[in-house]
Structure 1
Amino acid sequence: MAKWGEGDPRWIVEERPDATNVNNWHWTEKNADQWSKNKLKDLFANLVIEDPKIGNVVIEDVDKIEGEARVNNRKGKLIFFYEWEISLKWKGCVNGKDTEVKGKVDIPNLSEEHEDMKDVDVDVSLTTKGPEADILKEMMRVGVGAKRIRECLADYLSALKNEYSHGVILPKKGTENGSVIPPQSKAPAANAKSSMAETEKKMGNVNITNSCGVRIEVDDLRIEESMKCTGQELYNALTQRDMIQIFTGGPAKMADAAEANGAFELLGGSISGKFLEVAPFTKIVQEWRLKTWPAGHFSTVTITLKQTKEDTKLTLVQKAVPVKEIESTRQGWHRYYFEAMKRSFGFGAVLF
């Protein structure tokens, strides 16, 4: 996967139907996780693979599909990020033989780094043993089996780029499906204020005025994560400059280790703030903002850590996030902090 900080250093802004993303200037993102899982299951479930000279195999179970997929739009250009780990269970028979052979197919990494599906590893293993099993294993590893599996992966990628990505690039302001949309007449100011009040009442959000006098609609977000590491290891990853630079893939301007009232900047100032409270291995409180937020506006991030016998539970509460940035901020924490730490430090695997 591309590292955080490659390309546009700003975090993603949500796709907005009110034309705020004028001419597709901002980076918008569409989450394709669940769609991808469903698509991959449809492609592989009950897939029959046959070589008339050898035998046939059927994919009897899609055992695992783990990873993520995103479709991004930047200045009207589509950019795709995806990374999947897939496991399939199969069974089959050699021609003229009654012995049923069972095995697995593992695809350890399907990602945008593969320009050709031939470069995607297809690992085949056996559950049963014997000469028939060895014959079918080779058919699945280097024969028509591997070819058919890679064709399904290519079908998924084609659907992601042509089917799911439809609508990510918004029509320019004043056009829709190539036609000009007539401008709507302005409603009376009183009606507009009434409509805005009703909307705010339904949403339950809070309006504040920041230090620069800008009125902002804000809300809070809450995230819970489990990390396969000790509380000390997770705390260090979040507060030590060297470790932060590893999982973010970019420079961090801060002290070697976080301290109260210590300022920080990540990715050339795209993210900035200061540590308000640091309680070793249990709690971190930050003043935190994105460069693209209204000037002078900060949120407050409180991270609490609780170690159990099996892992460490992380709870993040972020207060006063601009409402229009809630979902993109949530996705940013997951993708660029938690998932990045799991990949960089192995916090997604059992360590103790």
Structure 2
Amino acid sequence: MAKWGEGDPRWIVEERPDATNVNNWHWTEKNASPWSQDRIRELFKDIAVKTNAADLKITEVENIEGEASANNRKGKLIFFYEWDLVLKWKGSIKESDRQYTGKIKIPNLSEENEVSELDIQVSVETDDEVGSRLKQIMMKDGKELVRSQLSKYIAGLKEEFSKGMILPKKGEVKPDSVKILASGFNRKLNMEPVVNSGKEIGQKIETCTIKQTQKFQCTAQEFYDALTRLELVTAFTRGDVQLDLSKGGKFSLFGGNIIGIFDELVPAKRIVQQWRYKQWPEGHYSIVTININQKDDHTEVVLEQIGVPKSEMDITKENWQRYYWDAMKQTFGFGAFFT
């Protein structure tokens, strides 16, 4: 199958001991920022770097900026965290009393990046011959220590901090059945372009209309939020997202392959947008209307897309299913969860 080329608050309910979030239906969120800051500071407080060439120690966290949260949706845990860290270190060459100091910067600790791929920058305050040597030792041995400590933080966030977030279903508690998920930011879609029709502005384009009806196991507000909140759109599209949530505001998904303009936004009811895929003839937009109807036990979504180039009809229908509906169900637990 060919692939596409390369606000309003969420439905958040309070965690309560009487388990009113029955069967973990709602999206619950727990602020992990204060816990994360304390844990990171603890992990980098006076820890020695193991090396035979020098006496080195990471002394403390000088600066920590960012945020973190843990989210539960129908028994699935999703974690968001993004931190910029500055650590301080000091040390001396063996058999020398002269102390050198420096810093370690980690500008991109997030679920989007594997710990092994983090950009860890080391600097020394006095960059003379000895200072330069200590810096090189820290880059070689200190980086591994930093990665190890950050792995402990992430493990603690997913295992220690999130305890109690999965409320018991009626009559059962099975901790081993809980699945822990990342947001999926680091899973890049390898989208292949459809064939350009070759038609340019001014030429008549034969178009058609697509209609789809989907059922989601969530509230209308939850579904609306999943298509309009930046962090949630980023989670299910698994790529770069730009989103200006206002009438006339622009959006860009899948690395700029899908772009458009919001024409109408009615929370929990309707989204209307001008929508185009970049391979379409230049300047040609379709009109997408998404009507959201909450039922007693699910939400029904009706999509109508007017002005789709006829040659792209089948592939566009398939990609709505694969990259929107199935991806949302998989990421947020809005339907059958695919493994």
**Counterpart in the other structure of 1:154:** 151
**Counterpart in the other structure of 1:335:** none
**Counterpart in the other structure of 1:79:** 78
1:102-160 deviations in Å (ceiling 9; x for gaps): 1100000100012x31101110111112111111111222x110000100000101111
**Contact 1:72–1:79 at 8 Å: present in 2 too?**
yes
Query: Given residue 24 of structure 2, which amino acid in structure 1 is its aligned partner?
Result: N
Q: Equivalent residues in 2 for 1:199-278 (5 A)? A: 241-242=248-249, 245=251, 253-254=262-263, 264-265=265-266, 269=270
Query: Given residue 109 of structure 1, which amino acid in structure 2 is its aligned partner?
Result: N
**Counterpart in the other structure of 1:118:** 116
1:96 match: secondary structure? coil
**Counterpart in the other structure of 2:64:** 65
Supply the distance in 1 between the matched residues of 2:152 and 2:17 (Cα, whole angstroms): 30
**Contact 2:247–2:265 at 8 Å: present in 1 too?**
no
1:269 Cα offset (Å): 3.8
Q: How many residues align?
A: 198
Query: Given residue 139 of structure 1, which amino acid in structure 2 is its aligned partner?
Result: I
1:20 Cα offset (Å): 2.8
2:50 match: secondary structure? strand
**Contact 1:10–1:291 at 8 Å: present in 2 too?**
no
**Counterpart in the other structure of 1:168:** 165
Cα 1:82–1:291, aligned 2, differ >3 Å: closer, same or farther?
A: farther
**Contact 2:13–2:27 at 8 Å: present in 1 too?**
yes
**Contact 1:99–1:132 at 8 Å: present in 2 too?**
no
Supply the distance in 1 between the matched residues of 2:11 and 2:260 (Cα, whole angstroms): 16
Greater relative contact order (CA < 8 Å, ≥ 6 in sequence): 2
**Contact 1:253–1:266 at 8 Å: present in 2 too?**
no
Supply the distance in 1 between the matched residues of 2:18 and 2:162 (Cα, whole angstroms): 20
Supply the distance in 2 between the matched residues of 1:251 and 1:70 (Cα, whole angstroms): 30
**Counterpart in the other structure of 1:96:** 95
1:241 Cα offset (Å): 3.1
Say yes or no: does 1:43 pair with 2:43. yes
Query: Given residue 148 of structure 1, which amino acid in structure 2 is its aligned partner?
Result: L
Query: Given residue 146 of structure 1, which amino acid in structure 2 is its aligned partner?
Result: K
Supply the distance in 2 between the matched residues of 1:250 and 1:22 (Cα, whole angstroms): 38
Query: Given residue 253 of structure 1, which amino acid in structure 2 is its aligned partner?
Result: F
Cα 1:161–1:104, aligned 2, differ >3 Å: closer, same or farther?
A: same
Unaligned runs of 5+ in 1: 179-236, 255-262, 271-289, 293-352
Query: Given residue 123 of structure 1, which amino acid in structure 2 is its aligned partner?
Result: Q
**Counterpart in the other structure of 1:144:** 141
Supply the distance in 1 between the matched residues of 2:293 and 2:127 (Cα, whole angstroms): 59
**Contact 2:123–2:135 at 8 Å: present in 1 too?**
yes
**Contact 2:43–2:149 at 8 Å: present in 1 too?**
yes
**Counterpart in the other structure of 2:129:** 131
